[in-house]
Structure 1
Amino acid sequence: MITPLIVLTILFVPTLIAAAMALRTTAQGVINLGGVVGYAAAFAFFSVGHFVITDEMVAMLPEFFPARRPLIYATGLIEAGLALALLPKRSRAYAGLGCIAVLILFFPGNIYTAINSVGPGWHQWGPVYLLVRTPLQVLLIIWGYWFAVRGGGLSGLPRSLAAH
């Protein structure tokens, strides 16, 4: 189960580097930028999986899904697009909301794969996998909200979302 450790490293290393840099500068938002860079790198990492281990990703979808392979490629492109959209401050909050939506919408697929022990190696641990994946999923959602949505400039969001 090395992938969750890779994801945590991808998230925390840029954030910790930014925190160290923040000690030496008066610039505002350095730590937040590190968190965003880590989040964007994580989504880029997720995206790459769709193109590198495509067959395993296809196995994560139930048989009744039509065009499973094109769907895997399309979701990989969505994740890559979100990773890129996190970087400019102008689109960051929207991209953060998109990342959170993807994490929520794709999570049933992780439940399916864990219950059926299909997909990439760590999913084959069965339901035990969810003991690792669920907290990681929650962390990714909180991370996205904290650094991208909340820290990404909420002025462009609808009033109901900006009130938080």
Structure 2
Amino acid sequence: MTDTIDSRLAALGVVLPSPAAPAANYVPCVTTGNLLFVSGQLPIGAKGIEVVGKLGAGVSSDDGRAAARLCAINVLAQARAALGDLERIVRVVKLVGFVNCTGDFADQPKVVNGASDFLVDALGERGRHARSAVGVASLPFGAAVEVEAILEIA
């Protein structure tokens, strides 16, 4: 099997979903020059938002990491819809993860690793990126995590 993003996704057992439509007045992606900006993605799966609530108040760090991973899957789904071919991704430049958490929760980096680890697994070296992991008081629809990305594209 060749080492493509699609083959890596298949090896991970990941099938990218149809990307979610915007929930407000914005677009899912914007391309400018050789950059693709992907709007914040929630942990939306087959059942809707899969992980709801606050880290540090009922949502475990493991569930938060799983939510971040699902957000990253949705980032790639949006990228595929915008680009047509994930092989156009040169690299993930920047990832920003927002963690819905209590004021004393301090493991945002560990939670957002769910997204970072997935992107490296799926894209190899192209998936290594700069990153911010930020704790917030709330997220849309009560989601536990939201992830946005900036991708360099060919």
Flag whether TM exceeds 0.5 (same fold): no
TM-score normalised by the chain length of structure 1: 0.29
The structure showing larger relative contact order (alpha-carbon pairs under 8 Å, at least 6 residues apart) is 2
Q: Which has the larger radius of gyration?
A: 1
Which of the pair is proportionally richer in helix?
1
TM-score normalised by the chain length of structure 2: 0.30
Which of the pair is proportionally richer in strand?
2
